[in-house]
Amino acid sequence: MVAATTAAAAAPPLSGPRSPARFRRHGFRVDSGLKDDLVFGDPNAPRFVLWEGKLRPVPSKPADLPFFDLMSIPGKLRAGLGALGIRPPPPGREESVEEFVRRNLGAEVFERLIEPFCSGVYAGDPSKLSMKAAFGKVWRLEVAGGSIIGGTIKTIQERGKNPKPQRDPRLPKPKGQTVASFRKGLAMLPNAITSSLGSKVKLSWKLTSITKSDGEGYVLVYETPEGAVSVQAKSVIMTIPSYVASDILRPLSSDAADALSRFYYPPVAAVTVSYPKEAIRNECLIDGELQGFGQLHPRSQGVETLGTIYSSSLFPNRAPAGRVLLLNYIGGATNTGIVSKSESELVEAVDRDLRKMLINPRAVDPLVLGVRVWPQAIPQFLVGHLDLLEAAKSALGQGGYDGLFLGGNYVAGVALGRCVEGAYESASQISDFLTKYAYK
């Protein structure tokens, strides 16, 4: 969430000699017409974590590590030794994010960096999130190299031997790890896709049932403004939330439905507010401006808001001159009570928190630009997530439901970039499946 999509993640690799076969076969349409509307955050802009009443920058490159004041010297030493492999061995069972990070990198890295990061990405509880499922890339480093640093070295060596597929040269290249959006916000992407697909997109059709058809394939029944409509399809990809898929699939496979019903989506609220620039505390300004990606708040620091994105610092034209636009997230797995709060209570909670560290306590009231509550916001990749997902897929396979695929964020990963990559993977699966119908 707060640590939004990395720009590079959303770009499919270029078709070419090094691309995996599935990418070679289907020429991708990589441009939804928005290339010139992409906007990137400055990769060098700081990110902050609230610790003991102060917003402290997070190290953005290895050279920052000795100097940043978010961790103590013993905490940094513990992290360095652990990353080298001087730490307790893995327990031989699936670990939570908290267990993995405390064991490998120590308490300070967990409490001051990873715990707030889990709020930022999952609005989640790191004592329940699975390291393997939620942060698989880091989890694999220890498996591959015996330690986080050992695994990093091994990954770099392997990348030298098998370079990544070349990036499509038509895509803009961000200058580092950053976040991206579009000039008029993310809504530009679905709107552009909708206009290029035209009437094939049915925004007000609600899927109510799937049955196997008498011949091959499936019959899907939709509730539409024109009444019930049924559609016959050889293959179906369900990218609806898992709890909806669970209900729809129950008549086909109760095992798949049971597994899908167990993924948990906590509520999150997004509260967008604007203050005049003078409302920002002096100590939070850099060269007289609010600069950076935003800030994250560990649960131990006495604030309810999970984190704040400095929208007007990250992207151009998000606020008129003299004002700042702040997008705040509140709620999540550790604070599900937000669903019973009114909009004004949510704004009050966010404003109260911001006045503890970013906004002058006597500043004027903010302008409220939007409050949106998602009662079931983000699927949590908890310990056991991958097993449940596998159970759902194999129940469908064993039930003989060939050509019926599961997709979306609880399958691919919650970051928008992973959802886009996952969509290409799903398209490839469907295409492979449909080759059996190809004219031979």
Ligand X SMILES: Cc1cc2nc3c(=O)[nH]c(=O)nc-3n(C[C@H](O)[C@H](O)[C@H](O)COP(=O)(O)OP(=O)(O)OC[C@H]3O[C@@H](n4cnc5c(N)ncnc54)[C@H](O)[C@@H]3O)c2cc1C
Residue numbers at the binding site for ligand X (CB under 6 A)? 1, 4-5, 206-207, 239-241, 244, 268, 270, 374, 377-378, 408-409, 414-417, 419
| DSSP H or E run through 207 | strand 206-212
What is the rounded distance in angstroms from the CA atom of residue 406 to the CA atom of residue 423? 10
Residue 87 near residue 104, CB atoms below 8 Å: yes
Q: How far is the CB of 190 from ligand X (least distance, A)?
A: 9
Task: Pull the structure tokens for residue 149.
Answer: 């640093």
Q: How far is the CB of 229 from ligand X (least distance, A)?
A: 12
For ligand X, the closer of residues 275 and 329 by Cβ is 329
For ligand X, the closer of residues 166 and 232 by Cβ is 232
Task: Pull the structure tokens for residue 150.
Answer: 């050992």
Task: Pull the structure tokens for residue 223.
Answer: 């509730």
For ligand X, the closer of residues 46 and 413 by Cβ is 413
**With b meaning 16 or more CB within 10 Å and e meaning fewer, what string describes 324-344?**
bbbbbbbbbbbbeebeebeee
For ligand X, the closer of residues 1 and 395 by Cβ is 1
Q: How far is the CB of 18 from ligand X (least distance, A)?
A: 27
Q: How far is the CB of 343 from ligand X (least distance, A)?
A: 15
Task: Pull the structure tokens for residue 374.
Answer: 């998602």
What is the rounded distance in angstroms from the CA atom of residue 255 to the CA atom of residue 259? 6
| φ, ψ dihedrals at 167, nearest 5° | -75, 145
Q: How far is the CB of 335 from ligand X (least distance, A)?
A: 14
Task: Pull the structure tokens for residue 71.
Answer: 């961790």
| DSSP H or E run through 194 | helix 188-197
Q: How far is the CB of 41 from ligand X (least distance, A)?
A: 11
For ligand X, the closer of residues 14 and 244 by Cβ is 244
What is the rounded distance in angstroms from the CA atom of residue 425 to the CA atom of residue 422? 5
For ligand X, the closer of residues 84 and 201 by Cβ is 201
Q: How far is the CB of 300 from ligand X (least distance, A)?
A: 23
Nearest alpha-carbon partner for 336 in 296, 375, 383: 375
Query: Could you count the other beta carbons within 10 Å of the beta carbon of residue 200?
Result: 7
Q: How far is the CB of 202 from ligand X (least distance, A)?
A: 9
For ligand X, the closer of residues 152 and 376 by Cβ is 376
CA atoms within 13 A on the CB side of 335: 22
For ligand X, the closer of residues 46 and 266 by Cβ is 266
